[in-house]
Amino acid sequence: MQLTDQFNRKINYIRISVTDRCDFRCIYCMSEQMKFLPKKELLTLEEINRIASIFISMGVEKIRITGGEPLVRKNIDTLFNNLSKNKDLKELTLTTNASQLMKKAEMLKASGIERINISLDSLNPLNFKKMTRTGDLSNVLDGIEHAINIGLKQIKLNTVIMRGINDHEIFDLIEFAIKKNIDISFIEEMPLGDTAFSRKSTFTSNDEILKKIKTNYLINKIDYRTGGPAEYWQILGTKSRIGLISPHSHNFCEECNRVRISCKGELFLCLGQDDKIELMPLLREYPNNDQPIKDAILNSMKIKPKSHEFNLEQNKPAVVRFMSHTGG
């Protein structure tokens, strides 16, 4: 079985948020005083594994575990262990802020995680603190170094550049990636959740970033894809690649191959739209019968929208839920 939406796009990739909680409060992602969901409203780890198994049986080949910060979820080790046993899953990946990597890197490697995206927006301790509100840069850098040293493969940095806040660090971040022989992607700021920041004033397009990069590096566009929306450039003379994820300036929706599961079991058909199907009630009403869940997933393909509609001129979030709720 292969999931296909109404626009004949094959859905073979899901992103699952295992928690809306995070030990950071990044200024483009959360409000300073976040109210998190009661734990009783979250999917259990067993339910997450069940959802993942159902999607895999329907043709999904890649799963990314996200949050919030997924590694703060209690007993998350058991989920990775269970997912890694599914032989029909081709790729299991993770997005993390690296705060827990010193403690969790060995577990991730043992679970067969081959690709980790690490959110890193600044290499300056004071600026890092400003952007994350609660983060400790030294802890993050130690986690990255540890993950590299134990042999975790395909580590990539994810960076959101904000005008007037960290746009002066583009070269520093690229040099860090080159030094560590890892890749880096620049992601345009997305209008999700009311973060109390004017995104119109801080937004920096990837066209601007690419133009700046070309003043300092020789790069070639390459035919390299990881299943996501990034377009990649090779930095000549290095092992590092630069990815650009551009939901504003270069809409990539025509190639969309993914859906998202929130930490409370909502199947979101698009990150930038509110179309969703509630899976948690079905999971609990039919504990021993997957068919109703499969039917709901199949029916959801009929309402998956053609594209998101991000508009910075409105100066308000495209959707009111925070990124941490849906998962990145």
Is the Cβ–Cβ distance between 178 and 123 less than 8 Å?
no
pLDDT band at 279 (very low <50, low <70, confident <90, very high): very high
Query: 36-45, 121-130, 222-231: which has the minimum mean pLDDT?
Result: 222-231
Span 33-64, pLDDT tens digits = 888 999 899 999 999 999 999 999 999 999 99
The superfamily (CATH) of domain 13-326 is: Aldolase class I (3.20.20.70)
The pLDDT confidence band at residue 226, using thresholds 50, 70 and 90, is confident
CA 229 to chain CA centroid, nearest Å? 11
Give this prediction's pTM: 0.90
d(C-alpha 143, C-alpha 97), whole Å: 9
Q: What is the 3-state secondary structure (H, E, C) of 20-78?
A: CCCCCCCCCCCCCCCCCCCHHHCCCHHHHHHHHHHHHHCCCCEEEEECCCHHHCCCHHH
Nearest Cα to Cα of residue 156 among 67, 262, 232: 232
The ranges assigned to domains in the chain are 13-326
Handedness of CA 192, 197, 198, 204 (dihedral sign): negative
Read off the pLDDT band of 317 (50, 70, 90). very low
Confidence of residue 308 (pLDDT cuts 50, 70, 90): low
Residue 76 binned pLDDT confidence (cut-offs 50, 70, 90): very high
